[in-house]
Copies of this chain bind each other. A is one copy, B any other.
Amino acid sequence: MATIRDVASEAGVSVATVSRVLNGKGYVNENTRKAVEAAIRKLAYKPNEVARSLYHHQSKLIGLVIPDITNPFFPEIARGVEDFFQEEGYHVMIGNSDESREKEVNYIEAFSQHNVMGIISTSSDDISQWAGLDIPVVLLDRIQDDFPSVCADQEAGGKLAAQILLERGSRNITLMRGPHHLRTAQERFLAALTELGRSSARFQVLNTAFSYHHALETAKQLFDCYPDTDGIIAANDMVAAAVLREALARGKKIPDGLQIIGFDDIPISQLVYPALSTIHQPAYEMGMEAAKLLLECMHQQTNLKKKIKLSIAFKDRETTRKEGG
């Protein structure tokens, strides 16, 4: 790899001059600039980011920590973040935390050691680890007083899901509740629960994890315990898909005998049959917004504690009855 010194001697100038043309700052004569640029091209020189980073204590790197890239909700987010920062000349390092505090801390350290310019985290609820850091942090999918954040309106989503099922005629609803420690899952659950509580419909609650292995189990359990259920509010689309599968396997009529509503609107929800009605979270946009917000924080030194709440929307597909029908 050619270094700045190689370029300097090739062009017959000092490294300082090369640096100036590289960064477009400081005076440099038009002709020497030409010479330097020629040398750069000739040697196919690329500045060493590591050296730059060492000097500036900054790099063109962004850290992103998510629970698990294998969960289809997060790649969308990651793409949003990446697509935004790509435009700005940054690169994104992704870390999977598996909801483990240890892994998350490990990534944060790695990020910090590599001088990332900012971090987006969509993982743990434990905020203590962010406190010491002097790097801007944006929280995605969770909120904390001291940090800027982006999230989707879980409460509106949970409420809407319940309303839809009720409006469209379910009278015996099973509400599935995601992992208790995930604030988002808890929020949408609570909002749906409240809505259900306000109605005269019968309902019951069933706990579930988010992994598809687990979801398949829970689905079986659901129909064993509550064979008469005629409406299911799934904790997310993975779970909804599993439930749908099990329902079809047991010969349920959907949506006439049983309505199912998911949450997230991950790509597969359009691929199953019948296509999943679901509460859409704008995952890609959330990633984009978080990235945009982070960039703002990076530019202004001040920790602007802006909170962005994106709205959700109901996707009326095939596992719910038609409105007024």
**In the complex, chain B residues whose CB is within 8 Å of the CB of A248:** 273
Partner of A50, one of B76, B79, B114, B212: B114
Q: B59, A69: Cβ atoms under 8 Å?
A: no
Q: B49, A113: Cβ atoms under 8 Å?
A: yes
**Copies of this chain in the oligomer:** 2
B-contact 0/1 string along A24-55, CB 8 Å cutoff: 00000000000000000000001111110110
Q: A268, B270: Cβ atoms under 8 Å?
A: no
**In the complex, chain B residues whose CB is within 8 Å of the CB of A47:** 113
A272 touches B (CB below 8 Å): yes
Q: Which residues 71-129 of A sit at the B interface, judged by CB distance below 8 A?
A: 72, 75-76, 78-79, 82, 91-96, 107, 109-110, 112-115
**In the complex, chain B residues whose CB is within 8 Å of the CB of A78:** 69
Q: A76, B70: Cβ atoms under 8 Å?
A: yes
Question: Which of A59, A72, A238, A271 has the most chain B CB atoms closer than 10 A to its own CB?
Answer: A271
A242 touches B (CB below 8 Å): yes
**In the complex, chain B residues whose CB is within 8 Å of the CB of A183:** none
A244 touches B (CB below 8 Å): yes
**In the complex, chain B residues whose CB is within 8 Å of the CB of A115:** 48, 50
Partner of A267, one of B91, B212, B244: B212
Closest CB of chain B to A233's CB: distance in Å? 18
Do A93 and B93 contact each other (CB < 8 Å), given the known contacts A75-B75, A271-B238, A275-B245?
yes
B-contact 0/1 string along A199-225, CB 8 Å cutoff: 000000000000010011000000000
A249 touches B (CB below 8 Å): yes
Q: A91, B70: Cβ atoms under 8 Å?
A: no
Closest CB of chain B to A2's CB: distance in Å? 12
**In the complex, chain B residues whose CB is within 8 Å of the CB of A113:** 46-50
Closest CB of chain B to A209's CB: distance in Å? 14
Closest CB of chain B to A18's CB: distance in Å? 16
Tell me, in angstroms, the Cα distance from A107 to B49 when the chains sit together: 13
Q: B70, A75: Cβ atoms under 8 Å?
A: yes
B-contact 0/1 string along A242-253, CB 8 Å cutoff: 101100110000
Q: A49, B114: Cβ atoms under 8 Å?
A: yes
Tell me, in angstroms, the Cα distance from A272 to B270 when the chains sit together: 11
**In the complex, chain B residues whose CB is within 8 Å of the CB of A48:** 54, 113, 115
Tell me, in angstroms, the Cα distance from A70 to B70 when the chains sit together: 10
**In the complex, chain B residues whose CB is within 8 Å of the CB of A61:** 114
